[in-house]
Amino acid sequence: MRAAGLGGAAGRLVRGKATRDEDVRDKRLDRAWDAGDPTNQCGATEHGCLGGIAVIEQYVVDLQEVDETQVAVVGGKGAHLGGLSRIEGIRVPAGFCVTTDAFRRIMAEAPSIDDRLDELSHLNPDDRDGIRTLSAEIRRTIEGIALPDDLAAAITHALAQLGEQAAYAVRSSATAEDLPTASFAGQQDTYLNVMGPAAVLRHVSRCWASLFTERAVTYRLRNGFGHRTVDMAVVVQRMVFPHAAGILFTADPVTGNRKVATVDAGFGLGEALVSGLVNPDVFKVRDGGIVARTIAAKQRAVHALPAGGTQEVAIAPERQEQPALTDAQVMRLVRLGRRIEAHFGRPQDIEWCLVDDDFQIVQSRPITTLFPIPESGDQENHVYVSVGHGQMMTDPMKPLGFSMWQLTAMVPMHEAGGRLFVDVTPRLASPASRAGLLEVMGRGDPLIRDALETVLDRDDFVPSLPDAGPGGPPAGGASAPIEADPAIVTELIERSQVSIAALGRDIRTKTGPALFDFLLEAFEEHKRVLGDPLNFQAIMAGMDATWWLNDKLQEWLGEKNAADTLTLSAPGNVTSEMGLALLDVADVIRPHAEVVAFLQGVEDEGFLDELAKLAGGTEARDAIEAYLDLYGMRCVGEIDITRPRWRERPTTLVPAILDNVRNFEPGAAERRFEQGRQKAQKKEQDVLARLRDLPDGDRKADEAKRMIDQVRTFIGYREYPKYGIVSRYFVYKQALLEEAERLVQADVLSEKEDVFYLTFQELHDVVRSNQVDDRLIRRRKDAFRSYHALTPPRVLTSDGEAVTGAYRRDDVPDGALVGLPVSAGTIEGRARVILDMADADLESGDILVTTFTDPSWSTLFVGIAGLVTEVGGLMTHGAVIAREYGLPAVVGVEQATRLIRDGQRIRVHGTDGYIEILP
């Protein structure tokens, strides 16, 4: 077999030293096998051998000789083009790839680049000046390297096979490009209509250098790709001169719907669309028909010049509003796209050209922005609601995290994109349960309700089924009446504490497979405690009373969100107590200047041991330790068992402690709680007095009093079950990490945190077999990293459509950001946009703006004046604690952290649910 079908000049054998590392030899042999020529039958002259086997460095390979498995040889673009060329009925312009072997040889010609790469890897992605300077130096160095004669000969020989004087497209093809988890779209360079061997060689060098454009370097830094882990191949293809060109998405890139294909089309080369020079015609196709079309006024196009290069040209006025494609061509193109999608096994972003009524495909890559669809195991329609939006944690979870939540949850859950979803299709299909579901969802998060109603409006997606029996809970929740008796809360907390203590005691003796058997039983106890009917009644009693008070007091007194004041400083709220307790820690630390100075420089997690060496340090350490004994199992994103807990990473608390030292006076916790209690008591007296003045006032006042007692008895308990869950999780985690440490000692795992990338059952299997699939762990790590770039939808369908709800309101000022009012009052102040609690640096009067807040964030709530979040509902943790502390709060504000800039002055209307950005 000839190397790549292009003759002996396309391959080169190199002499290997017998002392070379086994890994190097294996990689070279793998490359030879991948090329289909492991026995040196490529027509090249043998230049040496390695361990008795010839080692091949291929510099050029024909597109038709490769497929999508050979990304390491020809890069993502080249591999996909090779795969495309093998699909029946798909035409791909002829061409070849200059392989990554050639790139590595060129890089080896300039050892100085290695030092520059070290410097580059240490830069912050936001250091634009540093990236600009270093990347320009590297590009100049690469472009200045003369191509070795044999490498240049391999390329020119391949050009001669295709037509030396033809026009070519010379295109970058990096090994980290067009991947399922990262597209790198537009990060490296492409050159069109390149003519003549000398020009092609020059542009190959420019493509190599484009691996270090500023945008490519920044992209790699932001997405966790090392600069040395990416190699560059170059695709050289015969140029096509199309009548029209554009992009086909085999799934709707905006909604994610996998059944809707979108075609963007314009005249001339596709460069006009990609560069944004013109607005394209847009066709949407579903179920074999065009369901929407927009024909744009296409005033300009990009055409190839006879002597090489391209230029913009004006489109004749009579042609500007003509469709670039006929309907028949659109449908034919979509059928080709579906064939390509089937070949690659996932939705594709396809670049196409139309030449003489014939489509040629010049690129296809996965659409990496689509949110994955939960696996259902059937072909039926499904509607999924996000768990993360209800739990105030929309970040991706690692496999051990989501599998543990699935095993301990009260309802079945489905994973996709590292997030969990509940399938609500059966409840939507039943008229009896549908109304109750929509009511509860609407009270919690109006955007979810609106999204569900949007799906229901499509009559054919969720068929209405006859009621088979009792429906779901009625509007406003479902619980039997319960007496407002504090003893009920006391009993529930005691039950939980006894169960957790037994768990901690019994798990200590369990190791190996026996530990996993024990945990499966423990999960049943976990669910038994959560599923206790009295537990559910107590939770719903506080929520029902809140809703009743807000509804009735608005109806009777015209007062919005009256319950927000009535719940101030409600007793027994473990989350609000956690925030106030950190004020008490600050009181212990504040008098000791040496301790405060030490904490300002703390970075090492062992700082608690160092405190005792300082004046006042023993007291400070004891106060922090006591706090960790009560709350050390908590952390940001605590529903994911793999997240580091405060007990494991106590430095997380230091910024909040220092803020409290700076912003508060001694005794602030007790004063704050008492002020809230008195304000709630005064509000109660005022409301009851006003009600008694109404017609039938005594009855109304008596009903309101009963509900006020109920809300103050039970609304604090609303936070306790979550505290119990994370307390159990910390016990589970400590036992599993001890098991992971044994696996590390036995050389089964490289590091104990690798278990986080296995599901619970997979980890069980590893412990039984003492064997692990390292490649699976690597794939899981890559996938988890990619999931951070995805925005989880509140509602997702089995078609892949992310359904976005809307606030149906016309009572807000123009330009205001709309959300859900969850804590009454109006506050004006400086916005502090904080995405990581560890970065908090708050002053008194600041308004916290963030993506979501779970209970761990309540340590910051004592120091802020208001709250704005992108995620949340009326009864999520941030809303409950905001009301307890009397903070005006608006949640569910779409893109709040992007639309509000850090440091801007804003006004939060917590009663009416909107935010004004002030001049």
Asked if 376 and 798 touch (Cβ cutoff 8 Å), the reply is yes
Structure tokens at 852: 């979501």
DSSP 62-93: EGGG--TT-HHHHHHHHHHHHHHHTSTT----
- Distances in Å between the alpha carbon of 343 and those of 71, 86, 88, 166, 399? 16, 10, 10, 31, 28
Residue 497 is classified by DSSP as: H
Q: Which helix (H) or strand (E) holds 194?
A: strand 190-195
Q: Nearest 10 degrees: CA dihedral of 719, 721, 725, 731?
A: 100
Query: Which residue, chain included where needed, has tokens 């992009």?
Result: 247
Instruction: Report the C-alpha gap between 113 and 136 in whole angstroms.
Output: 11
Q: Kindly report the backbone phi and psi dihedral angles of residue 190, in degrees, each rounded to the nearest multiple of 5, phi listed first.
A: -130, 140
One-letter amino acid of 709? D
Asked if 340 and 250 touch (Cβ cutoff 8 Å), the reply is yes
Closest by CA position to 3, among listed 97, 142, 87: 97
Instruction: Report the C-alpha gap between 192 and 604 in whole angstroms.
Output: 53
Structure tokens at 676: 């809230």
Instruction: Report the C-alpha gap between 693 and 714 in whole angstroms.
Output: 28
CB under 8 Å to 625, separation ≥6 — which residues? 608
Instruction: Report the C-alpha gap between 7 and 9 in whole angstroms.
Output: 6
State the distance between the two ends of the chain, measured CA to CA, in whole angstroms: 72
Asked if 12 and 56 touch (Cβ cutoff 8 Å), the reply is yes
Side by side, the strands of the sheet bearing 167-174 are 60-62, 95-98, 232-238, 167-174, 190-195
- Distances in Å between the alpha carbon of 389 and those of 244, 433, 594, 805? 44, 21, 42, 13
Query: Which residue, chain included where needed, has tokens 């009663």?
Result: 911
Radius of gyration, alpha carbons of the chain: 32
Asked if 190 and 172 touch (Cβ cutoff 8 Å), the reply is yes
- Distances in Å between the alpha carbon of 692 and those of 532, 554, 556, 702? 38, 15, 11, 9
Instruction: Report the C-alpha gap between 711 and 708 in whole angstroms.
Output: 5
877 is catalytic: yes
Q: How many helices (H) and strands (E) does the chain have?
A: 32, 28
Exactly one of 80, 343, 414, 877 is catalytic; which is it?
877
Structure tokens at 2: 């000839």
- What does the chain come to in residues? 919
Structure tokens at 563: 């319950």
Structure tokens at 135: 């990347």
Residue 95 is classified by DSSP as: E
Structure tokens at 344: 């690659």
Residue 863 is classified by DSSP as: T
Q: Nearest 10 degrees: CA dihedral of 864, 869, 871, 872?
A: 50
Q: Name the 3-class secondary structure at 654.
A: helix
Neighbouring C-alpha atoms within 13 Å toward the C-beta of 353? 22
Q: Name the 3-class secondary structure at 276.
A: coil
- Distances in Å between the alpha carbon of 165 and those of 194, 198, 235, 238, 666? 10, 11, 17, 10, 83
Instruction: Report the C-alpha gap between 6 and 2 in whole angstroms.
Output: 7
Which amino acids are annotated catalytic? 877
